[in-house]
Structure 1
Amino acid sequence: MVRRAAALLGALLAVSLPVHAQATDADDLIAALKRARTLAARGQAEVTVLFPPRAVPTRVAAALPALPVRPALLLKNFTVVRAAPQTVAGRDAVRFDLTPKVGGAGRWSLWVDRAWNVPLAFEERRADGAVVRRAAFLKVNAAPAKVALTVPAAPAGLRAALTRALPGLTFPPGFTPVGVRPRAAGGTEVTLTDGLNVLALVIAPQDVRGAPGVASRRVGGAFVWLVGNLPDDTLRGALAGVRRVSADALGTFAGPGDSNP
């Protein structure tokens, strides 16, 4: 009787006490990406960039290109799913597939070392599946190296200032402005991101040649460009409603922030 009562009490406690949530696939990926700010694999990597087009799209590097990941935006805008374990450069890795929750932004896959918990490879694709960028280690050193990577915080009030500078601008789904810099050729460039994909919004005194992934529009005496891995109709639609250009509204945001979100 005593044993039966103890078992019943244990069952009741198990039902009534809160259960701690287990880490999701997205949590595991974010942990690896945050770790990559202080620790990174080194060795021989092959990096291929197909957008924007270049004469020699593939090069060899000692490290993967840094990804300016913003965890809060990534969690908000992407569905993350863990795939079957795979091998990269002879090491056991876990692949994470990232799909935008809305819009036609780039899809990503990232391969994370199971022991080191740092990226070994990544791939960016268009919504139709075409590869845009790919980077993967062919060989890795015996141990990862210490690094110090930061992503500047988005300046407070930047979105409102950009709306004043380009009234009628439509932000592509999931994207928000996070930085502004002056261009050497004249004009201003604003960086937009959804946490992983990056767009360049440019206010310039001259036009840009049309190409896939590039939209431009003349507004008064200035030109506005939007460049990035989005369907062309989405890029054009973002600029279609712009009524005027007042770049002075962005003047106080030309310097990047110092901290990481």
Structure 2
Amino acid sequence: MRRAALPGTALLLAALGGTAHATDTDDLLAALKRARTLAARGQAEVTVLFPPRAVPTRAANALPVVAARPALLARNFNVVRAGSDPVAGRDATRFDLTPKVGGAGHWSLWVDRAWNVPLAFEERRADGTLVRRAAFLKVNAAPVKVAAAVPAIPAGLRAAVIGALPGLRFPAGFAPVAVRSRAAGGAEVTLSDGLNVLALVVAPQDVRAAPGVASRRVGKVFVWLVGNLPDDTLRAALAGVRRASADTLGTFAGPGDSNP
């Protein structure tokens, strides 16, 4: 006669044998992955308030590319499915993303429930001030195929940046992901927390002071840090830099071919 399983054993077996449920983060990352091969087209409106520009709003037939890096996004953001909102007459799920640490930008993304691709997004400062918004007003009958690979992070880049800028403190959650050489001299390092992007520049000239811009002279060059972070956080990141050179960073310039 078969003995009945103990209640605790039954619960354990059910947990081990049951189907795992995707989290809100998993669902959003799946939509962002799909957006690399499929995208909506139609009539969109794009508003950029940082950096400031004379005409902040423009029309477009597609959303600007969101430079999402899945591994960093999953590590640095709390993702919550915040309900359903229509976008351009289509059913969409809104995901709200809040940084786990630091004062980086907060995001909302609206994902088409049938196509599973983004239809709108917003980036806001930690205090709620709008920085960027892009949303479809109308969409075509079907999405189109696209190719939007995320470049790999060059191996050894973090150590190289620290070596070129000893004393640099990366803002909470941010990591170097790419480098490009500048036509005017020096190098620009892209820092990302998975969604928000900062520009770390070593240049022979200074940059004009403005909100979201920190700069200091180090020896014969200048180091800038630009992006949607509180000014005191940007300045603190550069405060300890003891010397600066872009010489060793040029070897990392150029795109990769896969996603980290």
Query: TM > 0.5 between the two?
Result: yes
Aligned length: 257
Distance in 1 between the 2:8 and 2:223 partners? 64
**Pairing of 1:21-32 with structure 2 (within 5 A):** 21-32=20-31
Secondary structure at the counterpart of residue 139 of structure 1: strand
Equivalence for 1:216? 215
Per-residue deviation, residues 4-63 of structure 1 (Å, max 9, x unmatched): x89x55967642311333111110000000000000000000000000011110000000
Displacement of 1:187: 1.4
How far apart are 1:246 and its partner, in Å?
A: 2.1
Amino acid in structure 2 at the alignment position of 1:210: A
**C-alpha distance in 1 between matches for 2:10 and 2:46:** 51
Partner of 2:200: 201
* Alignment match of 1:16 (pick from 12, 24, 40): 12
TM-score when scaled to structure 2? 0.95
- The AA in structure 1 aligned to 2:23 is T
- State how far apart, in whole Å, the 2-side matches of 1:28 and 1:141 are: 24
After superposition, the Cα gap between the structure-2 partners of 1:55 and 1:23, relative to the gap in structure 1 and judged at 3 Å, is: same
CA distance in 2, matches of 1:57, 1:169: 33
Match of 1:233 in 2: 232
The percentage of aligned residue pairs carrying the same residue is 79
Query: Aligned-pair RMSD on alpha carbons?
Result: 1.5
User: How far did 1:163 drift?
Assistant: 0.4
Task: Tell me the amino acid that sits aligned with residue 178 of structure 2.
Answer: G
User: Structure 1: how far apart are the matches of 2:57 and 2:40?
Assistant: 20
Question: Counterpart of 1:233 in structure 2: which amino acid?
Answer: D
- Output one character per residue of 1:154-176: Cα deviation in whole Å (capped at 9) or x when no partner: 10000000001000000000000
- SS in structure 1 of the partner of residue 254 of structure 2: coil
C-alpha contact (below 8 Å) 2:202/2:245 kept by paired residues: no
Aligned match of 1:173: 172
SS in 2 for 1:65: coil
> d(CA) in 2 for partners of 1:55 and 1:242?
34
2:247 aligns to what?
A: 248
What secondary structure does 2:225 align onto? strand
- Which residue number corresponds to residue 157 of structure 1? 156
- Give the residue type in structure 2 aligned to 1:50: L
Q: Cα deviations across residues 68-103 of structure 1 (Å, max 9, x unaligned)?
A: 111010000000000121100000000000000000
Q: Identify if the C-alpha distance between structure 1 residues 15 and 239 changes in structure 2 by more than 3 Å, giving closer, same or farther.
A: same
**In the alignment, is residue 78 of structure 1 matched against residue 74 of structure 2?**
no
Gaps of 5+ in 2: none
Distance 1:238 1:174 in 2: 12
Deviation at 1:110, TM superposition (A): 0.1
Paired letter, 1:170: R
SS at match of 2:158: helix
Once residues 159 and 12 of structure 1 are traced to their aligned partners in structure 2, the CA distance between those partners, rounded to angstroms, is 47
AA in 2 matched with 1:15: L
2:93 maps to 94
Deviations 1:143-196 (A, max 9, x none): 011101011101000000000100000000000001110112221100000011
Task: Map 1:136-155; keep pairs closer than 5 Å.
Answer: 136-155=135-154
SS state at 1:137 partner: strand
Aligned to 1:174, the other structure's residue is in SS state coil
